[in-house]
């Protein structure tokens, strides 16, 4: 269960940063991305998947969350 | 030798790897790569931030070096105690040339060495009592200190001392910030983890001290310089540029910085990150907690400085953008003369770099401004995100080497034959004896500053001074010099 930070970079793209691995990659898809449900399965551009317990509301980025390997 | 093709570079790597035993070869192979602009993610071509191979020469440091030497050490009004045996503090003392303003021993303490000087009995019975006593003594002897950081050396973690408890007790007694940093040298694979631990210590023990205090007058143009260690005055030559375009620099992290500046950083509008590797952690934290955006910039060489000033100005309103253009135009005259003078002397020269932090990619622009070409670069302790950024900066088919070993570096130099090498003191004399001009790029070879437009003038002069030094022609003993040259000398006399 790594701690991951999701943020928008300077170009407005959403990135996911794994502190433990010092790895920052772009997010290609998020399973739920609406005002009342946000999170779920996240896929990175390189194909890695993470799962984040869906939140009830759209969070204010950046945010640190616990993620599981998806 | 002209530029090498991809195949030649790959063949060179294979040739150098040849001498290793199979297992070592497999490991080292992953750390050496040929730059390829088509690769988007560096992890596909190069492995980094892995434990060095036992038995090879590495120039990496330890977590204590990363925390005390890099991040905490330059904060001038705090006392940084090297907690443990005496050597770690003494041998790293005053080595990095982090300049500062202040009276050493009165209100500034950067170049001094404070240590708890562990003896056998401290290892056996624990060193907490000694640390408490030391904190009291420091308070008596240096009453103008604004805080203390306790930088653990290896034994502290091994014997399990509770430095956090001592720190809390000392803070309660004096009211000053006392920061315990768990940066024991054995943690992690290089100094990089030390940076991270130090950043976390700042976050947990110092950064939020003034969160409830709004007495600080803010302006819309407040910025902080993050990750500039003021080596030879770097932060100063950066700071004047930012001030000239109309920004207010609230704090410098950590070269010539103070604990008060650190506490005020959460109140700025933008964090400007120079050394991404050592300070990105705290920048990310501030972005999340205080909503302060951060931006990487590069003040090496006029091209990159222009670019960075415009990028920084674009974040603010038009008055700043206009001033940025004025500043760029003003300094253009200055740096054009520099380029005009030095470029003909340096044009086409080839450089190999092997440094740490941000420089292996940041200084490339400065060399290119002088018409030089960087043909190989590498980091001591980078992570994948550093190489992601490096791939774009380096030319295609150039060499990339991560945590290069002494043997590999020497072989690369013998084959690539660069005109100049930029690396550390441990490499300096080896390459000078091999007859290759060398600059020590960790602390600018006792020169500097190199940041900003003013720094570029010094940078260009230094490179010329080293490369075109007449001594490189005198490496051969006089009686071994060919007859013809001797006659020529006699004829000209």
Could you read off the pLDDT of B407-442 as tens digits, one per residue?
999 999 999 999 999 999 999 999 999 999 999 999
Q: Which residues of B144-154 are buried (b: 16+ CB within 10 A; e: fewer)?
A: ebbbbbbbbbb
Whether the predicted pLDDT of B486 surpasses 60:
no
Spatial separation of the C-alpha atoms in residues B143 and B118, rounded to whole Å = 24
Which residue of A lies nearest to B286 if distances are taken between CA atoms? A62
Tens digit of each residue's pLDDT (9 = 90 or more) over B157-186: 999 999 999 999 999 999 999 999 999 999
Could you tell me where the DSSP H helices lie in B417-479?
425-433, 452-467
Looking at residue B492, its pLDDT comes to: 60
Among this protein's residues, is B195 annotated catalytic?
Answer: yes
Catalytic hit among B28, B31, B63, B65: B65
Specify whether the CB–CB gap between B340 and B460 falls below 8 A: no
Q: How far apart are the first and last CA of chain B?
A: 33
Whether the predicted pLDDT of B1 surpasses 70:
no
Quick one: tokens of B249? 């620099």
Radius of gyration of chain B from its Cα atoms, rounded to whole angstroms: 24
Give mean pLDDT, residues A38-64: 88
Whether the predicted pLDDT of B73 surpasses 50:
yes
ipTM higher than threshold 0.95 = no
Contact with chain A for residue B443, Cβ under 8 A: no
Give mean pLDDT, residues A5-12: 84
Give mean pLDDT, residues B308-336: 96
Give mean pLDDT, residues A40-66: 88
Quick one: tokens of B103? 């009276």
Which residue of B lies nearest to A46 if distances are taken between CA atoms? B41
Quick one: tokens of B393? 């900066």
Specify whether the CB–CB gap between B457 and B335 falls below 8 A: yes
Whether the predicted pLDDT of B491 surpasses 80:
no
Looking at residue A69, its pLDDT comes to: 85
Across B93-143, the runs of DSSP E, i.e. the strands, are 114-115
Whether the predicted pLDDT of A70 surpasses 80:
no
Give mean pLDDT, residues B194-221: 95
Give mean pLDDT, residues B375-393: 92
* Beta-strand relationship, A63-66 and A38-44: unpaired
Give mean pLDDT, residues B241-264: 96
Measured between beta carbons, which residues in chain B are less than 8 angstroms from residue A10?
A: 295
Q: Dihedral through CA B429, CA B365, CA B242, CA B326, nearest 10?
A: 140
Looking at residue B487, its pLDDT comes to: 57
Looking at residue B337, its pLDDT comes to: 97
Tens digit of each residue's pLDDT (9 = 90 or more) over A9-21: 878 888 888 877 7
Give mean pLDDT, residues B353-378: 96
Looking at residue A24, its pLDDT comes to: 80
Query: What number of CA atoms fall less than 13 Å from residue A56's CA on the CB side?
Result: 0
Strand order through the sheet with B270-273:
B248-254, B222-228, B270-273, B294-296
Asked if B384 lies within 8 A of A23 by C-beta distance, the reply is yes
Question: Which range (A34-38, B174-178, B282-286, B329-333) has the least confidence?
Answer: A34-38
How distant, in Å, are the alpha carbons of A70, B213, B221, B248, B286 from that of B208? 35, 10, 21, 21, 10
Question: Which range (A30-44, B70-84, B170-184) has the least confidence?
Answer: A30-44
> Could you give the percent of chain B with pLDDT greater than 90?
91
Looking at residue B493, its pLDDT comes to: 54
Whether the predicted pLDDT of B311 surpasses 90:
yes
Q: Report the residue of A22, A25, A61, A63 to disrupt the B interface, i.e. the one with the largest count of B CBs within 10 Å.
A: A22
Contact with chain B for residue A62, Cβ under 8 A: yes
Cβ count within 10 A of residue B113: 16
Among this protein's residues, is B97 annotated catalytic?
Answer: no
Give mean pLDDT, residues B102-113: 96
Specify whether the CB–CB gap between A14 and A29 falls below 8 A: no
Contact with chain B for residue A10, Cβ under 8 A: yes
For the four alpha carbons of B116, B121, B126 and B130, in that order, the dihedral sign comes to: negative
């Amino acid at each position: 269960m790594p701690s991951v930070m999701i943020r928008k970079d300077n170009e407005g793209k959403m990135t996911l940063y794994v502190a433990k691995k010092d790895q920052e990659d772009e997010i290609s898809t998020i399973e739920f991305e609406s005002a009342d449900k946000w999170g779920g399965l996240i896929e990175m551009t390189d194909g890695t998947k993470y799962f984040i317990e869906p939140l009830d509301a759209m969070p204010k980025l950046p945010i640190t969350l616990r993620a599981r390997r998806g | 030798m002209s530029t090498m093709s991809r195949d030649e570079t790959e063949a060179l790597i294979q040739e150098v790897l040849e001498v290793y035993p199979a297992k070592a070869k497999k490991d080292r192979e992953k750390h050496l790569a040929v730059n390829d602009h088509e690769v988007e993610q560096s992890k596909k071509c190069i492995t980094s931030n892995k434990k060095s191979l036992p038995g090879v020469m590495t120039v990496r440091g330890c977590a204590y070096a990363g925390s005390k030497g890099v991040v905490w050490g330059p904060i001038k009004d705090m006392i940084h105690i090297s907690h443990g045996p005496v050597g770690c503090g003494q041998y790293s003392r005053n080595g990095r040339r982090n300049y500062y303003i202040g009276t050493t021993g009165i209100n500034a303490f950067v170049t001094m060495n404070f240590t708890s000087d562990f003896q056998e009995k401290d290892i056996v019975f624990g060193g907490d009592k000694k640390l408490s006593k030391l904190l009291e003594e420091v308070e008596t002897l240096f009453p103008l200190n604004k805080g203390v950081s306790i930088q653990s050396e290896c034994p502290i973690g091994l014997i399990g001392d509770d430095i956090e408890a001592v720190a809390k007790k000392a803070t309660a007694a004096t009211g000053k910030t006392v920061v315990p940093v768990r940066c024991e040298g054995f943690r992690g694979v290089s100094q990089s983890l030390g940076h991270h631990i130090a950043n976390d210590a700042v976050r947990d023990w110092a950064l939020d001290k003034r969160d409830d205090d709004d007495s600080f007058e803010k302006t819309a143009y407040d910025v902080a310089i993050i990750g500039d260690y003021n080596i030879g005055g770097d932060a100063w030559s950066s700071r004047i540029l930012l001030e000239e375009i109309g920004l207010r620099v609230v704090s410098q992290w950590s070269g010539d910085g103070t604990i008060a500046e650190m506490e005020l950083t959460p109140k700025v509008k933008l964090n400007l990150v120079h050394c991404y590797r050592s300070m990105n952690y705290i920048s990310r934290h501030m972005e999340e907690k205080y909503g302060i955006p951060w931006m990487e910039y590069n003040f090496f060489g006029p091209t990159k400085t222009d670019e960075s000033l415009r990028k920084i100005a674009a974040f603010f309103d038009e008055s700043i953008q206009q001033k940025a253009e004025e500043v760029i135009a003003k300094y253009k005259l200055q740096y054009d003369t520099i380029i005009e003078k030095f470029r003909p002397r340096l044009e086409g020269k080839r450089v190999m770099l092997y440094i740490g932090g941000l420089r292996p990619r940041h200084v490339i622009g400065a060399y290119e401004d002088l018409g030089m070409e960087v043909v190989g670069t590498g980091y001591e302790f980078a992570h994948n995100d550093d190489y992601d950024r490096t791939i774009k900066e380096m030319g295609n088919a150039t060499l990339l080497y991560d945590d290069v070993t002494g043997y590999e570096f020497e072989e690369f130099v013998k084959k690539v034959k660069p005109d100049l090498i930029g690396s550390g003191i441990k490499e300096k004399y080896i390459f000078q004896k091999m007859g290759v001009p060398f600059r020590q790029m960790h602390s600018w070879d006792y020169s500097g500053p190199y940041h900003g437009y003013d720094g570029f003038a010094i940078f260009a002069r230094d490179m010329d001074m080293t490369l075109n030094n007449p001594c490189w022609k005198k490496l051969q003993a006089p009686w071994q010099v060919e007859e013809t040259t001797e006659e020529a000398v006699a004829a000209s006399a």
